[in-house]
Amino acid sequence: MAKVLVCDDDQSILEVIKIMLEESGFEVVTINSGKGIQKKITEIKPNLILLDIWMPGMDGKEIITLLRRDKKLRDIPIVVISALNDTENIAKKSGADGFLSKPFSMEDLVGVVYKYTH
Amino acid sequence: MPILQIVFSNFDLKIFNILLISMAVISNTALIYLLFKRPVKYAYTFSFIFFLFLINFWGLPKIIINSGFFNYNLYVHLDKISSFGYIFIPSVFIYFTFSFIGKIRLLAKPIPGMAVFLVPFIFLFLSWNTNLIEKRGQADIVNNSWGYESPAGDFFGIFLVWFETLMVISMLMLHKLYKTSLDPIKKRQSLWIFVAVFIPLLVGTITDGVFPLFGRHVFPMAIPLTSIMALIVGYAIYKFDLFEPSPNNILSSIGDGVITINTDRKITFINRSAKTILKIKNSLIGSTFDKAIYFTDQFRNKKPILNSPVTEVINTIKQLKSDQYCLSYKNRKPIPVSVTLNPIKTNQQLIGASITFKDISYEKELEKNKDDFISIASHELRTPLTSLQLFNQLLLKDLEKKKDNKLQNYSIQIQNQLGRLTKLTTDLLDTSRISTNGLSYYKKQFDLNQLIKETIENLQQANLGQKIVYEFGADSKVYGDKERIAQVLINLITNALKYSHSSKKIIVKTKIQNNYTKISVQDFGRGIKKSMQSKIFQRYFRNIEDPSQSGFGLGLYISSQIISNHQGKMWVESKIDRGSTFYFTLPTA
């Protein structure tokens, strides 16, 4: 079973993503801040990271740079979530693999996760 | 013996002289009247009036002197009055010149000022007390056929030097102004005055000055020729507003910044407000626009923009208005301005351009605050929208399983309304990002026909009542942001669907022309009024006559901005009740 780490500062989003992905047969771990994300990733070794690019405290872009520098973690695909409607550009610029623009539908979400875990 | 005396008798010449002087006095008086009638009079208008007045003072007594009516005492008094006239002419004229060229401060200094106006009094005193009339006696006066000059008595030579020096200084100054002034109006004015005054000055100096100085008498032409001067000046007043100050003087004091340039883009004028707005301390006249002062884009980049609007105005000879530029002086912080550029023409010929501007920093600041607010608000709204939408989706799935049609219908309603809400926040977000230049594009080559086909298929599913058909030209690979172009297509097609309920067809066409592709979306709906057609692409445009219209009025604005970012154009052709066709172009890859 593919493991997905979801990082977003909005509790409601985390909850609904967890429900949807679990319904679709993924194992989901959620964290609500960028702090300690590196440690958490090393710990659970997810197959995919869903990351909100705009969180208070720690910038999503910094997290991506950080993870890309880590030899053990650099191969884990990252999908950025953003409420800006040119998320695709942001994803490309920051070095993420995929993107999801808020608001997205269940199909979008599952589609993206499926794409990067198979 | 002068030639004239052979042809005419003394009597004829005296009559002739009276006639000519009378003409001069009349025309000078007419000119005085004309100048007094000017709506606004300036220091130099008054000094020119005084100058004309002195010429008449000089001329009028001569009419009586030459009339044949001879009374020795009267003659002496008239001669004194006459000398009062011409003695003060150079002083008044140099005063006129200095104030006309805007250097009156030089004469306001005590030494030159006193000199110019006190020296004539010495001449007047000498003239009145060492009058040649008394020395030469009656016989001499009678013998002199065309009247008798008594120029400052024995000191006439010195007076002549004084007279000519001041006049020559004045003429040189007018000439210099003509040569160096970059203001075409001032240039022309100085030339006309120069020519007008030069004629009587040159001839008069010879006939009324040099000849009498050497004891010879010829027909005095100085006063008669002032009528020609008056005619020239009068003509120039009617034709060129000669005595109106160059508009620059007026422009100096208005609140908007004004800069004028010639066709070489050299700055010919810059007013006080322009200097205040741009914090300029030195003159800048003669330096090149786009070098010292230049336009930058609205995002306050310090680099000058590539296609200077100045060049555009000079090339197209058309007015240009914008509040999307900043003006910058020497790498200083660019000031956002609302600017109007106008070509300046005289006699159908382009002589330069004017740049009028207002500082709109405050307005831009407000606009930025508003944009920031919209950006943050719409951004913040999207996160709860997302979870709402997702939870509703979960709900809907559950209700489908339970086959609860009623609640399922409610959930679908929620979904639709969430969709609308999403569209509104997207439009707001796009708009705020367009105005802060934050909208980024990811451009690459793509198949336009394919994109149109996909877009139409998606929209067709949701709108089964109306048929969307397409007619494609040749395969079209265009270069651009595929998502954004899809956004434009969706906007145009949904508008077409929305405004043509009664008709059943929407036609989307592509056509390759030269190096761009033209896309058209045609409906057969109600059409758009001519007066509205130019407005529909404006931000927040809403047709107040159409209360059914929903949304923020941003769709077409965003679409046209996206297309213009792609170096394309967007326009509409429409007829009431026949339908509208929206066109846009994209560069072919």
**Closest to B508 measured CA to CA, from B450, B569, B443:** B450
Distance from CA of A115 to the nearest CA of B (A): 20
Identify the pLDDT of residue A85.
62
For the stretch B166-190, pLDDT in tens is 999 999 999 999 998 877 778 888 9
**Tokens read off for A38:** 């590196």
pLDDT digits (tens, 9 = 90+) for B340-373: 999 988 778 888 899 999 999 999 888 888 877 8
Block residue for tokens 């493991």: A3
Q: How far is A93 from chain B (nearest CA, A)?
A: 11
SS3 state of residue B480: strand
Q: Is A97 on the interface with B (CB under 8 A)?
A: no
A78 confidence band (pLDDT: 50, 70, 90)? very high
Identify the pLDDT of residue B547.
65
Instruction: Choose the mutation target among B376, B378, B380, B383 for the interface with A, i.e. most A CBs under 10 Å.
Output: B383
- The answer to whether B423 faces chain A, any CB pair under 8 Å, is no
* Cβ-contact A53, A10 below 8 angstroms: no
Q: Tell me, what amino acid is at B296?
A: T
Q: What's the rounded Cα separation, in Å, for the pair B508 and B518?
A: 11
Q: Which of the four pLDDT bands, split at 50, 70 and 90, describes residue B548?
A: low
User: Is the Cβ pair A10, B387 closer than 8 Å?
Assistant: yes
| Confidence at residue B140, expressed as pLDDT on a 0 to 100 scale | 45
Report the candidate in B16, B20, B227, B65 with the shortest Cα–Cα distance to residue B7. B16
- In the chain, the amino acid numbered A52 is D
Element at B517 (helix H, strand E): strand B516-523
Gap between the Cα atoms of B116 and B99, Å rounded = 14
Q: Alpha-carbon distance A41 to B328, whole Å? A: 51
Nearest to B322 by CA among B352, B357, B362: B357
Nearest beta carbon to residue A103 from set B394, B422, B442: B422
| Cβ atoms B429, B379 nearer than 8 A | yes
Q: Which residue of B has its CA nearest to A93?
A: B442
Question: How far is Cα B123 from Cα B38, in angstroms, rounded to an integer?
Answer: 34
Q: Which two tokens stand for residue B189?
A: 């004015």
Q: From CA A70, how far away is CA B290, in angstroms rounded? A: 50
**Residue A24 forms contact with B (CB below 8 Å):** no
Q: How many CB pairs under 8 A join A and B?
A: 59
pTM of the predicted protein model:
0.53
Task: Identify from B390, B416, B484 which residue to disrupt to test chain A contact, counting A C-beta atoms within 10 A and taking the largest count.
Answer: B390
- Whether B386 and chain A come into contact, CB under 8 Å, resolves to yes
Name the token pair of B212: 């009498």
Locate the DSSP E strands across chain A.
Answer: 3-7, 27-31, 48-52, 78-82, 98-101
pLDDT confidence tier of residue B243, bands split at 50, 70 and 90 = confident
Distance from A46 to chain B by nearest Cα, in Å? 23
Q: Least CB-CB distance to A85: which of B387, B389, B429?
A: B429
pLDDT for position B148: 40
Residue B136 binned pLDDT confidence (cut-offs 50, 70, 90): very low
Query: Which is nearest to B337 in space by CA: B326, B348, B347?
Result: B326
Q: Which residue has the higher pLDDT, B32 or B423?
A: B32
Other CB atoms within 10 A of residue B33 CB: 10
User: Is the minimum CB–CB distance between A16 and chain B shorter than 8 Å?
Assistant: yes
Asked which of B295-304, B355-364, B455-464 is least confident by mean pLDDT, the reply is B295-304
Q: How many C-beta atoms lie closer than 10 Å to residue B16's C-beta?
A: 16
Helix axes B361-402, B405-435, angle to 10 degrees: 160
Q: Which residues partner with A59 through β-bridges?
A: A54
Give the model's pLDDT for residue B253: 82
Task: Round to whole Å and give the CA distance between A8 and A24.
Answer: 20
Judge: A103–B386 Cβ closer than 8 Å, yes or no: yes
Residue partners of B296: CB distance under 8 A and separation at least 6: B302, B303, B304, B305, B325, B326, B327, B328, B334
* Residue A15 CB neighbour total at 10 angstroms: 16
User: What was the pLDDT predicted at B541?
Assistant: 83
